[in-house]
Structure 1
Amino acid sequence: MVDIKKIKCFLLDMDGTFYLGNELIDGALDFLEILKEQGKDYLFLTNNSSKNSMAYVEKLGRLGCKVTEDKVFTSGEATTIYLKGLKPGAKIFLLGTPYLEEEFEKAGFTLIRDRSERPDYVVLGFDTTLTYDKLWIACDLIRDGVTYIATHPDYNCPLEGDNWMPDTGAMIELIAASTGERPYVVGKPNAMIIDAICDKYGFEKDEIAMVGDRLYTDIKTGINAGITTVVVLSGETSMEDYEASDIRGDYVLPSIKELGEALLK
């Protein structure tokens, strides 16, 4: 296990780790200030594909956290990178928000919006604009053999006040009940996200740590990629959940506030 003080870059999950809904978690901004003072770096790494990186920059700004777009990496962006490697400019039937649609169109993909054309891929994102018609078309295409991909597998998205909203993982289960098919999942816990970050930002794996509140995505990503992991209990995972799980982090802390305190000791 790498000494947490030797980590050069912290990969920070967002929902449940840095903020809950529209409220920063106590100590979040202080943590970034500690990293700055110690000459360390950070990157927001989120599985939430309902927004693109610019939308997250704007949201963080509204919360009082000023960051640039290159500090945010989403599962939506990771999915476009993955699909570019398979078929640049492919036709996509996308279950996603307007933000995710914009991300895919910006990456050069053609979005198919009805039954008039057969797409190359069906892509399921965190679609908070999901309609029955989109769901029906997607299921028909998947049954018909169109390759099916999902941005991430999170079951719930945490909100402030200990509230939750169904996330992409719940939609995966719904589609599986109808079609019997499950997607290839690009986002966390797939280790390819960590490889892409190392390539893009120039870090070695022993220099980075994954910080997150979900065991089956955030922490599993770190385990799959062979990097240091930090579980924070400020979002989806409680201590009871952690103790009942076979997924183990290198460090377990109440929140990002205590992580900052650990760096100061």
Structure 2
Amino acid sequence: MNQSLSLASQLSQMRCFLMDMDGTVFLGERLLPGAVELVDYLEQREIPYFFLTNNSSRSKADYAQKLNRLGLTVSEQRIFTSGEATALYLKKRMPSARLFIAGTDSLKEEFRQHGFEIVEERPEAVVLGFDTTLTYNRLWKLCDFVRAGLPYFATHPDINCPTENGFMPDIGAMIAFVQTSTGRQPDVIVGKPNPPIIEAVTAKSGIPLQFTVMIGDRLYTDIALGRTGITTVLVLSGETKAADVAGSPFQPDWIVENLAELYALLSRAQSVSG
């Protein structure tokens, strides 16, 4: 059996598919090849799937609207963000905490929907998200709170976010800024590849990790989830290029060019078995 058929055979045993979005399903305002076909394949076979993104600058409602606008018909229930995972994580541990959030209005609303009070002064904990509205004064305020010793959480660790025209600095760059100023790293980083987000999505799907596959474009987040026991597929449509793989400590189980190649493999395997 060749490598392509081996991949298709293994994926045919999976009972839940997790897909990254930025660089995997779309780039900017462009849907990437194979996204529609793969989702249709999963829908027709009633295989559970979720779009699992570290990008916390948008809510699941925002993402559902964007995917629908780009031509991919999905509901909010298929979206799981690091922002939602962080809110769920804190709800179990600090359910009534007053929070200072360095994040977009969408992220703040996510936390409000989980019952948190969002404040600018005298918070009990601080949350750093991918804040595309960040100002120097708010970053300064965040550093003051972190330096004062308040519990400090970050939604995810991504250094850059892929776009159609290159990369934009992501939360990892902000974490480095805060660390340089305060000497502190976040107490907990929730998003991929850390346990809190995969524990949350597994609780949502009800499917064990050994029957779950993560498809994404970033080695140190998507593919690093492999250490949890999940199967990983790297797509080369976003941040990672083929030459980057050999030197990485995070090795994918499989590599494909994009979702179109993955869909083609699954379709061929289905026709052979059928």
Q: TM-score normalised by the shorter chain: which range applies?
A: over 0.9
Q: Is residue 200 of structure 1 aligned with residue 207 of structure 2?
A: no
Match of 2:18 among 1, 5, 11: 11
Q: Report whether the alignment pairs 1:159 with 2:166.
A: no
Structure 1 residue 41 displacement after superposition: 2.4
Whole-angstrom distance in 2 between the partners of 1:191 and 1:236? 22
Q: Does residue 63 of structure 2 align to residue 56 of structure 1? A: yes
Work out whether 1:264 is the aligned partner of 2:267.
yes
Residues 175-214 of structure 1: pairs in structure 2 closer than 5 A: 175-183=178-186, 184-214=188-218
1:232 aligned partner: 235
Give the deviation of 1:51 after TM superposition: 0.3
Distance 1:9 1:150 in 2: 27
Instruction: Name the CA distance, whole Å, in 2 between partners of 1:54 and 1:89.
Output: 24
Q: CA deviation at 1:110?
A: 1.0
Counterpart in the other structure of 1:109: 116
Percent identity, aligned pairs only, is: 49
Q: What is aligned with 1:174?
A: 177
Instruction: Indicate the residue corresponding to 1:253 in structure 2.
Output: 256
DSSP-derived class of the 1:126 partner: coil
Once the 2 structures are TM-superposed, how far is the Cα of residue 241 of structure 1 from its aligned partner?
1.0
Which amino acid is the alignment partner of residue 6 of structure 1?
Q
Aligned-partner Cα distance in 2 for 1:24–1:38? 22
Shift of 1:262: 1.5
Q: Which moved more, 1:224-233 or 1:188-197?
A: 188-197
Superposition map of 1:121-140 within 5 A: 121-140=125-144
- Contact 2:48–2:205 (CA<8 Å) still a contact in 1? no
Once the two structures are TM-superposed, the CA of residue 26 in structure 1 deviates from its matched residue by 1.1
Q: Secondary structure at the match of 1:6?
A: coil
Q: Where do 5+ consecutive residues of structure 1 fail to align? A: none
Q: Distance in 1 between matches of 2:85 and 2:227?
A: 16
1:215 lines up with 2:209 in the alignment: no
Query: What are the Cα deviations for residues 34-66 of structure 1, in whole angstroms up to 9, with x where unaligned?
Result: 223333221000000000100101011110111
Q: d(CA) in 1 for partners of 2:238 and 2:30? A: 12
Structure 2 match to 1:21: 28
Matched, 1:148 2:152: yes
Distance 2:170 2:51 in 1: 19
Write the distance in 1 (CA, Å) between the matches of 2:92 and 2:168: 32
TM-align CA RMSD: 1.3
Q: Which structure 2 segments of 5+ residues have no match?
A: 1-6, 269-274
TM-aligned CA deviation for residue 198 of structure 1: 1.9
Q: How many residues get paired?
A: 260
> Post-superposition shift, 1:120?
1.3
Matched-pair contact (CA < 8 Å) for 2:102–2:129? yes
Does the 8 Å CA contact 1:190/1:224 hold for their aligned counterparts? no
Contact 1:16 1:158 (C-alpha < 8 Å) held by counterparts:
yes
TM-score by length of 2: 0.92
